[in-house]
Amino acid sequence: MLTPFLALVSFVVLFGVIEMVKESFGYIPFYDLNEVTLKYYKDVLLSEKFYTSLFYTFYLGIVPTILSVFFGVMFAILIYFNDKRYNSINKVLQIPIVIPYIVMSFFVIIMFSQTGIVSSVLTCCGLIDNPNDFPLLIFDEKGVGILIVYFLKQVPFVFFVVSLALRKINRNIVLVSRNLGASTMYTVFKIILPLIKNSIIVCIMLVFSFNFCSFEVPLMLGNPKYDTLPILSYNMVMDTNFSLRPSGMVINTLLFIISVVITVFVARRFENEN
């Protein structure tokens, strides 16, 4: 019964990985490269570009994760205390969920580029005189546009997951805590957060791993000077200059190892959850 799954995995991942590792050691008979060498690993690991990209990839992985999880959890707890508004807010927050990442990136370009809508509105209010006064948010070095896209898409996601966990909490526990004289803040930090800890951790891992390996959003909104690792490897592997291919495969191998490590952690968390 496992055959179809294993067939798919081996078809999609296993053969690819074998090929990838082979090519990363410089063994590509098709291009007359028959020597097994560590040269490409050395090249990549000694190049400055790799570390800039690695840093940038982790930056784009960690910062939006902290922001979205923080605000998602806060909003969910806020709504937990004002239960009446849950349904209407629920409806509005479904909008970003159904919008694909590509479309959301496009929306952010329309809104926040230097000649975008926000800039136009500010000009009409007389706050700025020309497009150059508007800060560069898209294609910039800090990736603000990318952060906005992740934020818009992931706050609702975290909100829904955490709300589900919150609804499972027995409300009497909260009432008892309030009754015994605990302040709201104390109740939130000592009662509610520990109870939903597991779903928050699952959220953090899912959101981080998505941000870490996302391709489309940095491609559409990122500064071409700063590539994330997936874009760097894509450019190298698909380059018309075949000599870059092994280096691209080295980056792929490293990315693969990083993500396998993350997966093992995620799997352990899921286990605890059940």
Partner 1 sequence: MKIRKILFVLLIFFLVICCLPPLVLVVSSVSANWIYPSILPNDMTFSNIKYVFSNGEVFEAIYTTFLICVLSSLFCVFISFLTARVIVFYDFVGKKLIKVLVLLPLVVPSVTVVSTAHIFMIRTGIEGTIFGVSLIHCFFAIPYGVKILENHFLSVGDKYEVMSSNLGASEVYTLFKVTLPLALSPLCFVFFISATVSISQYITTLIIGGGSIKTLSTLLVPYVQYGEYEIASIYSLILILMSVVLYKILDRKGGRDV
Site for partner 1 in 209-268 (CB under 8 A): 209-210, 212-213, 215-216, 219-220, 229-231, 233-234, 237-238, 248-249, 252, 255-256, 259-260, 262-264, 266-267
Nearer to partner 1, 66 or 103 (CB): 103
Q: How many CA atoms lie within 13 A of 249 on its CB side?
A: 21
75 is a site residue for partner 1 (CB under 8 A) = yes
Closest CA to 199 of 170, 171, 157: 157
Per-residue CA distances from 3 to 9, 10, 18, 219, 245 (Å): 10, 10, 20, 36, 33
Do residues 59 and 143 lie in contact, with contact meaning Cβ atoms separated by under 8 Å?
yes
How many chain residues touch partner 1 (CB under 8 A)? 85
Of positions 31, 38, 100, 189, contacts partner 1 by CB under 8 A: 100
Length of the chain, in residues: 274
Subset of residues 146 to 205 that bind partner 1, contact rule: CB under 8 A = 152, 155-156, 184-185
Of positions 51, 131, 141, 189, contacts partner 1 by CB under 8 A: 131
* Whole-number Å distance between alpha carbons of 150 and 14: 30
The pair phi, psi for residue 33, each rounded to 5°, is -105, 100
Closest CA to 153 of 210, 205, 219: 210
Of positions 32, 35, 48, 271, contacts partner 1 by CB under 8 A: 271
Closest CA to 79 of 185, 166, 153: 166
Instruction: Quote the least distance from Cβ 2 to partner 1, whole Å.
Output: 5
Instruction: Quote the least distance from Cβ 220 to partner 1, whole Å.
Output: 6
Instruction: Quote the least distance from Cβ 248 to partner 1, whole Å.
Output: 8
* Whole-number Å distance between alpha carbons of 163 and 75: 9
- Considering only 38-46, 116-124, 136-144, 170-178, which stretch makes contact with partner 1 by CB under 8 A? 116-124
Nearer to partner 1, 105 or 163 (CB): 105
Of positions 20, 63, 67, 136, contacts partner 1 by CB under 8 A: 20
Instruction: Quote the least distance from Cβ 107 to partner 1, whole Å.
Output: 4
